[in-house]
Amino acid sequence: MTHHDDAPPYENPPPEKGRRLHYAWFVAAITFLTLLTVAGIRSTPGVLIVPLEHEFGWTRATISIAISVNLLLYGLMGPFAAAFYDKIGVRRTMAIALTLLAVGVSATTLMTRPWHMVLIWGVLVGCGAGMLTNSLSATVTARWFRKGQGTVMGVLTASVATGQLLFLPYLASLTETKGWRSAALLIASAALVILPLVLVIMRNYPESVGLKPYGAPPDEPDQTLLRPTGNPFRIALGGLERGMHSRDFWLLAASFFVCGASTNGLIGTHLIPACVDHGIPEVQAAGLLAMMGVLDLFGTTLSGWLSDRYDSRNLLFCYYGLRGLSLMGLPFALGGPQWSLTAFAIFYGLDWIATVPPTVRLTADSFGRENVGVMFGWIFASHQVGAALAATFAGTVRTYLGDYLVAFLLSGVICLLAAGLVLRINKAALPGIPADATN
């Protein structure tokens, strides 16, 4: 491996013992800031739908197509993101992705036709965000940490909720007072601010700065000599081929498809416009989503703790079942007293991505821990396919039927179906028999 692109920030780095803070923490911090910014960018469409509808006269069905393309590419890029990290390095990949995001989000201020939004927000922003998925968190954690990996991964995952909390209310307020173009330029500027920090601080491996991973023994082999020798793209496609012959893969993918459809695609994209339809101010609606982001952090952390102690299938049965019931009650909460919508936000927020830890656990049980990255990458891709289809479907329902009632009720129904599906995952496995023996 050549290190010209990953040169140390100093010629002769001091020995690890002389450092008060391991360089891994700087890498983790810049990764957190990057993912936080991406989360802010990805939460922006919910704020833009109504202003674009008013200014250009575009229907929500039309606008939702661009958002669906974005969601789809974000998911499909995930399984291949590791290929970029290995081939051109983490720092270069992050820099390219942030550049695409800054250019794409800025260019939205110039669009005048629906296809402009599909190309700019759908393709450019979708590809840029897709290069900075959960794979980045996993790669950084695996390369830079031997101690505290779970804590670091949890904090990096929390960046999604934190980004939504920090950006969404302010973007909604700015859109209301200064216009949606000001909000777009602000979020694009955030990507540009992070870019030089990535170029200066980010490194591919601890060995690039003369260190071992945090908490690693002194005799641990150099990671740069242990890089995968196979074609990462072929490995990713091989995982998909294996999954297509496994019943458990299809059950996991189907349930996570429903997860994406009922979260990012429906609530993440259309809750704010639905609130506006019922006379709720956009800033107040954005505040509800931000509150969900905070509660999501607690709910997902608790879900991880529970998945270490209880059957993940039973947990998912509860999560999907309760989510389905809450979505079926959402239309009545929107038209009811304020407390009912707040109650929905609290209940739904705790359940938002609580499905992730049990799903990862079941993926590891079914396909082995050494394969969980690739296999979960494809399962997550199905999550985003569901999100993309739901975003378009809900926008179309609103355009032609005048409200979101059918979209919310149908989403609740498929969540109840998913609750039944998850009970069949890995059902044939018995104690002492490998989980994927029947696949």
Q: For the chain, list the domains and their CATH numbers.
A: 23-207 (1.20.1250.20), 229-423 (1.20.1250.20)
Question: Residue 435 has what pLDDT?
Answer: 41
- Cβ burial of 146 (10 Å; 0-12, 13-18, 19+) is middle
- What's the confidence (pLDDT) of residue 198? 94
Q: 97 pLDDT band (50/70/90 cuts)?
A: very high
Both tokens assigned to 409: 């009720």
Global pTM? Answer: 0.73
In terms of average pLDDT, the best of 59-63, 74-78, 133-137, 247-251 is 247-251
pLDDT of residue 373: 67
CA distance 106 to 182: 10
Higher pLDDT, 432 or 315: 315
Q: What percent of the chain is predicted at pLDDT more than 90?
A: 31
Distance, in Å, from the CA atom of 46 to the CA atom of 63, rounded to the nearest integer, reads 11
Mean pLDDT of 9-15: 41
pLDDT of residue 71: 86
Q: Binning pLDDT at 50, 70 and 90, where does residue 328 land?
A: very high
Residue 353 pLDDT grade (very low, low, confident, very high; cuts 50, 70, 90): confident
* DSSP conformational letter for 225: G
- pLDDT tens readout for residues 268-324: 888 889 999 888 888 888 888 878 877 877 887 777 778 777 888 999 999 999 999
- List, in sequence order, the alpha helices (H) in 108-231: 114-117, 126-130, 134-144, 149-157, 159-178, 180-201
d(CA 141, CA 160): 16
- Per-residue pLDDT reduced to its tens digit, 199-257: 999 998 888 888 888 887 777 766 665 555 566 677 778 888 888 989 999 999 999 99
Q: Is the pLDDT of residue 429 over 80?
A: no
Band of the pLDDT at 428, cuts 50, 70, 90?
A: low
Q: Which residues of 227-237 are buried (b: 16+ CB within 10 A; e: fewer)?
A: eeeeebeebbe
Containing H/E element for 271?
Answer: helix 269-277
For all residues of the chain together, what is the average pLDDT? 82
Q: Is 374 exposed, middle or buried (0-12, 13-18, 19+ CB in 10 A)?
A: buried
Q: Per-residue pLDDT for 170 more than 80?
A: yes
How far, in Å, are 150, 198, 392 from residue 85 at the CA level? 21, 14, 32
Q: Do residues 243 and 256 lie in contact, with contact meaning Cβ atoms separated by under 8 Å?
A: no
User: What pLDDT band is residue 152 in, cutting at 50, 70 and 90?
Assistant: confident
CA dist 228 and 230 (Å) reads 6
Confidence of residue 258 (pLDDT cuts 50, 70, 90): very high
404 and 60 Cβ atoms separated by less than 8 Å? no
> Rounded CA gap, 88 and 315, in Å?
39
Q: How far apart are CA 202 and CA 205, in angstroms?
A: 9
- pLDDT in the model for residue 96: 94
